[in-house]
């Protein structure tokens, strides 16, 4: 019927009537149930929770049997409200589910109303309310330019330097107060996204002979301002940068722009526009692992000196994080991208609320028209986003139905498009509770996208009955005690209301083992009332006034009562960390602390401070060691080994001392001999005798003074030995060389004789001997057959 209405006022009035009719119907359910048959009595019920779970028409009477005789049969306590009244149950003893919708903060000057809604409901019931969102004629506008300054964006940067002022003038025509800011991004400045060679870090464009700025994750250059001259100056000072891979780090920059509100200068009353200009897609969250960055983004602001400092520490944010932060901070985002990347951002556009995608022409020729058209289109679309507390999402279902004003179009169930200024969009919000939450209040946030106002819904579930004097908190009526007394009425403080409904007093639920309320409190109406010093739903936690040991209060061996630990059996001490048993102090032979100490708080405390070890079994400086007798030896040396003064060293010598000329062998003694230094490389030898009888110390009266080292003879001996060895090696080498030379001479001589004989025997006609007067014969050969040989002689 609503869809059939043609006029907007008629549709609005019809919806209000339908809403009032819905509440009236829910209130009138008991009467409807009466006409259709009473479903509260059949089958019989035995608890309040089971009774109310049968429907909103059923109620439970917990009045005393004497005042409400009809309650003698416990199944008769569940009935229709008017039947319980007629049978004598007073109004204040009737338990029935409460429900209702309470709206607050409905003001005429707000864009979104109501600002707060309280729903009181029970599982299986849905409640609805209307949310109004109105677009104004003119808004204050904050627009932040976020520019990709990689090398491929040079033309767009040049274009922005010329059209930035004119774009600001165009936007002022659509805004009552326009401000503009600027920031830039490239990519994470780590490998493999950039070249990490030192020369490339300072100038990524050095291969092309031009100067570029270093790569950066995000730099906030200019906060939002109405000074267009300053904006123009900042834009003209910008220069390009460079990176290695195709995707850019746009997600890092977008999130920092959204969450760093104070740094950017976002105004709470303004429409917030984020213009992102890029020619490449953005890295996604898991891409950061290529650079060894594995810490997920925390969604917080990390700007220091206007520079994003966690670019190399945290991953890129996820798409879900971007959507959440853009919505949470009421930011419209406009992506101005080129044709090649339009498809990629088109898929991203469907995942981010309040986002517009525009196709950027070469050299950003259409930038002014793109931004103005995007702003108008974003304002003409009104949609809401609903978020339930994370841990309670599965217990609630929220349905949104948009009721668009006349002249607009419905776009999905929660969106209206082509909404004109000053028109109001209605959203019918229906909230259903599927199961009882553990919290007493659950929050639901409903925010129109791009609006700086929202609606807070407080859901207060009614999942349990009040505590009465009868019902589940008493034994069955008519039952008597063995002594014949009146029926025992166990008050509600004795037992949980009902097992299996979640309102129990035992850890682990109704089937849990152990006493009610951990034995530290009383069960009242299915909930634990803890004793002093205990906390938690089941009184399982202690307060913080008692000492902790090993991460547990009272070391886990006692209870905290009035700020003091009361220890259990077998434990003692202020923190109940001391066992009363001494078994932990027994050594392997069963002796307590090796008979050298006492057991205190389960540990051995040695009598002699020189002793150590778990059972005082270690004593490196005790009796029997060499150093322990040095005082005694020193005393006797100082007295010159005078046997006539036996009492002179009694204080220094706990043992009997016997002077000897030499220490006997120690094969039959337990302790080795010791040395006492007496200076000048001398020492006195002594030994303790720990055999049967009194302990005895044997002290030699003759010092042992080893002679000093003889360096000169040793040096001379080593030198002579080295010299002789070297001389022998030289003689051997000389002899070997002579033998080798002799063998070579003999070989040459033999070859000469053979050659000479062969030459004389094979002389040809062209070869003639030459005779000298000195009785030496020289043979000369010529190899030219035309030249005769002549005999030449020397006078």
pLDDT (tens digit per residue) in 78-99: 888 888 888 888 888 888 777 7
pTM for the complete prediction? 0.50
Answer whether 770's CB lies under 8 Å from 777's CB.
Answer: yes
Answer whether 669's CB lies under 8 Å from 693's CB.
Answer: no
Contacts of residue 393, defined as CB under 8 A and 6 or more positions apart, other chains included, come to none
pLDDT at 283: 93
Q: How far apart are CA 439 and CA 518, in angstroms?
A: 21
Residue 39 to residues 84, 273, 656, 684, Cα–Cα distance (Å): 14, 58, 106, 110
Q: Is the pLDDT of residue 707 over 80?
A: no
Strand partners, 555: none
Provide the strand spans (E) within 319-454. Answer: 331-337, 355-359, 382-388, 396-403, 409-410, 415-417, 424-433, 442-448
Backbone dihedral angles phi then psi of residue 604, each to the nearest 5 degrees: -80, 130
Q: How far apart are CA 515 and CA 14, in angstroms?
A: 57
- CA quadruple 73, 79, 85, 90: dihedral sign: positive
Answer whether 172's CB lies under 8 Å from 294's CB.
Answer: no
Contacts of residue 391, defined as CB under 8 A and 6 or more positions apart, other chains included, come to none
Mean pLDDT in residue range 231-235: 89
pLDDT at 703: 82
pLDDT in tens, 498-524: 333 334 677 766 556 677 777 776 564
Q: How far apart are CA 99 and CA 58, in angstroms?
A: 14
Q: Is the pLDDT of residue 31 over 70?
A: no
Smallest CA-to-CA distance from 23 within 132, 119, 123 is with 119
Strand, coil or helix: 26: helix
- CA quadruple 251, 252, 255, 261: dihedral sign: negative
Residue 192: cis peptide before it, omega within 30 degrees of 0: yes
Mean pLDDT in residue range 50-73: 73
Answer whether 564's CB lies under 8 Å from 546's CB.
Answer: yes
pLDDT in tens, 349-383: 889 988 999 998 887 788 888 888 888 888 888 88
The tokens 């556009």 sit on which residue? 349
Q: How far apart are CA 309 and CA 312, in angstroms?
A: 8
Smallest CA-to-CA distance from 303 within 237, 255, 235, 248 is with 255
- CA quadruple 60, 63, 65, 70: dihedral sign: negative
pLDDT at 774: 45
Q: How far apart are CA 616 and CA 622, in angstroms?
A: 12
Cα distance between the two ends of the chain: 157
Smallest CA-to-CA distance from 591 within 613, 574, 569 is with 613
Determine which of 145-159, 542-556, 752-766 has the lowest per-residue pLDDT on average. 752-766
Determine which of 143-152, 222-231, 630-639 has the lowest per-residue pLDDT on average. 630-639
Answer whether 278's CB lies under 8 Å from 155's CB.
Answer: no
Q: How far apart are CA 178 and CA 478, in angstroms?
A: 81
Most confident range, picked from 40-49, 223-232, 495-504? 223-232
Determine which of 143-147, 296-300, 785-789 has the lowest per-residue pLDDT on average. 785-789
Q: Is the pLDDT of residue 574 over 70?
A: yes
DSSP 8-class letter at 543: -
Answer whether 148's CB lies under 8 Å from 248's CB.
Answer: yes
pLDDT at 423: 87
What would the 3-class secondary structure string for 669-710 be? CCCCCEEEEEECCEEEEEEEECCCCCCEEEEECCCECCCCCC
Contacts of residue 449, defined as CB under 8 A and 6 or more positions apart, other chains included, come to 327, 353, 354, 381, 382, 383, 384, 385
Q: Please, what is the angle between helix 29-36 and helix 8-27, to 10°?
A: 60
Per-residue pLDDT band for 777 (boundaries 50, 70, 90) equals very low
Per-residue pLDDT band for 436 (boundaries 50, 70, 90) equals confident
Residue 44 to residues 38, 244, 506, 711, Cα–Cα distance (Å): 12, 76, 27, 115
Considering the chain, what percentage of its residues have pLDDT values greater than 90? 21
Residue 296, CB half-sphere, CA atoms under 13 Å: how many? 6
Mean pLDDT in residue range 521-550: 64
pLDDT at 760: 47
Number of H helices, E strands in the chain: 14, 40
Smallest CA-to-CA distance from 353 within 379, 322, 375, 389 is with 322
């Amino acid at each position: 019927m609503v869809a059939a209405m043609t006029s907007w006022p008629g549709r609005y009035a019809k919806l209000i009537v339908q809403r009032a009719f819905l509440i009236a119907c829910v209130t009138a359910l008991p009467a409807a149930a009466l006409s259709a048959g009473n479903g509260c009595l059949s089958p019989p019920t035995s608890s309040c929770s089971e009774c109310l779970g049968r429907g909103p028409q059923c109620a439970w009477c917990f009045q005393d049997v004497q005042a409400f005789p009809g309650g003698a049969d416990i199944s008769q306590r569940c009935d229709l409200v008017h039947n319980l009244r007629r049978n004598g149950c007073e109004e204040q003893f009737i338990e029935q589910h409460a429900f209702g919708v309470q709206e607050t903060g409905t003001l005429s000057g707000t864009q979104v109303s109501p600002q707060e809604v309280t729903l009181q409901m029970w599982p299986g019931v849905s409640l609805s309310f209307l949310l109004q969102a109105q677009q104004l004629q003119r808004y204050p506008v904050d627009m932040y330019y976020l520019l990709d300054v990689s090398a491929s964006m040079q033309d767009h940067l040049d274009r922005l330097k010329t059209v930035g002022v004119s774009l600001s003038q165009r936007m002022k025509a659509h805004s009552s107060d326009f401000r503009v800011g600027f920031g830039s991004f490239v990519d994470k400045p780590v490998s493999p996204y950039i070249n990490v060679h030192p020369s490339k870090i300072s100038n990524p464009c050095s291969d092309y002979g031009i100067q570029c700025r270093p790569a950066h994750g995000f730099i906030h250059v200019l906060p939002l301002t109405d000074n267009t001259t300053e904006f123009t100056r900042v834009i003209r000072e910008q220069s390009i940068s460079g990176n290695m891979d195709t995707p850019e780090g746009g997600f890092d920059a977008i999130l920092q722009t959204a969450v760093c509100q104070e740094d950017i200068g976002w105004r709470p009353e303004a429409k917030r526009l984020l213009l992102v200009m890029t020619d490449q897609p953005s890295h996604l969250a898991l891409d950061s692992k290529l650079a060894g960055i594995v810490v997920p983004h925390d969604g917080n602001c990390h700007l220091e000196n206007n520079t994003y400092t966690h670019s190399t520490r945290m991953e890129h944010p996820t798409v879900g994080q971007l959507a959440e932060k853009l919505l949470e901070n009421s930011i419209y985002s406009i992506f101005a991208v080129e044709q090649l990347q339009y498809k990629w951002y088109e898929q991203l556009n469907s995942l981010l609320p309040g986002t517009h995608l525009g196709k950027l022409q070469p050299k950003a020729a259409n930038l002014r028209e793109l931004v103005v058209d995007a702003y108008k289109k974003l304002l003409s679309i009104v949609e809401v986003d609903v978020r339930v507390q994370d841990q309670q999402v599965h217990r609630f279902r929220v349905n949104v139905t948009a009721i668009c004003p006349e002249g607009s179009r419905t776009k999905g169930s929660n969106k209206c498009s082509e909404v004109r200024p000053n028109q109001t969009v209605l959203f019918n919000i229906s909230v259903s509770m599927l199961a009882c939450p553990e919290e007493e209040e659950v929050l639901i946030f409903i925010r129109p996208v791009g609006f700086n106002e929202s609606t807070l819904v407080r859901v207060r579930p009614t999942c349990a009955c009040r505590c009465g004097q009868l019902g589940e908190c008493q034994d069955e009526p008519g039952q008597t005690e063995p002594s014949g007394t009146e029926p025992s009425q166990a008050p509600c403080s004795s037992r949980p209301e009902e097992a299996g409904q979640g309102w129990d007093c035992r850890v682990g639920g109704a089937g849990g083992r152990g006493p009610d309320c951990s034995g530290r409190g009383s069960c009242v109406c299915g909930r634990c009332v803890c004793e002093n010093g205990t906390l938690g739903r089941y009184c399982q936690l202690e307060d913080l006034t008692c000492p902790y040991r090993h991460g547990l209060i009272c070391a886990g061996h006692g209870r905290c009562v009035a700020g003091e630990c009361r220890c259990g059996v077998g434990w003692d001490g202020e923190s109940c960390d001391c066992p009363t048993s001494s078994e932990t102090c027994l050594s392997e032979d069963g002796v307590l602390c090796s008979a050298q100490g006492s057991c205190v708080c389960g540990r051995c405390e040695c009598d002699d401070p020189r002793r150590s070890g778990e059972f005082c079994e270690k004593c490196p400086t005790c009796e029997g060691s060499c150093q322990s007798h040095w005082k005694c030896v020193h005393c006797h040396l100082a007295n010159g080994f005078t046997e006539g003064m036996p009492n002179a060293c009694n204080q220094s010598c706990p043992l009997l001392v016997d002077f000897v000329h030499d220490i006997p062998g120690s094969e039959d003694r337990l302790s080795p001999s010791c040395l006492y230094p007496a200076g000048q490389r001398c020492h006195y030898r002594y030994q303790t005798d720990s055999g049967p009888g009194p302990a005895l110390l044997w002290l030699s009266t003759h010092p042992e003074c080893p002679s000093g080292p003889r360096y000169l003879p040793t040096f001379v001996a080593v030198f002579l030995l080295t010299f002789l060895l070297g001389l022998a090696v030289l003689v051997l080498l000389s002899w070997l060389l002579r033998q080798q030379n002799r063998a070579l001479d003999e070989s040459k001589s033999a070859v000469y004789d053979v050659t000479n004989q062969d030459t004389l025997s094979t002389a040809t006609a062209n070869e003639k001997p030459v005779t000298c007067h000195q009785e030496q014969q020289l043979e000369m050969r010529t190899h030219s057959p035309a030249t005769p040989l002549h005999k030449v002689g020397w006078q």
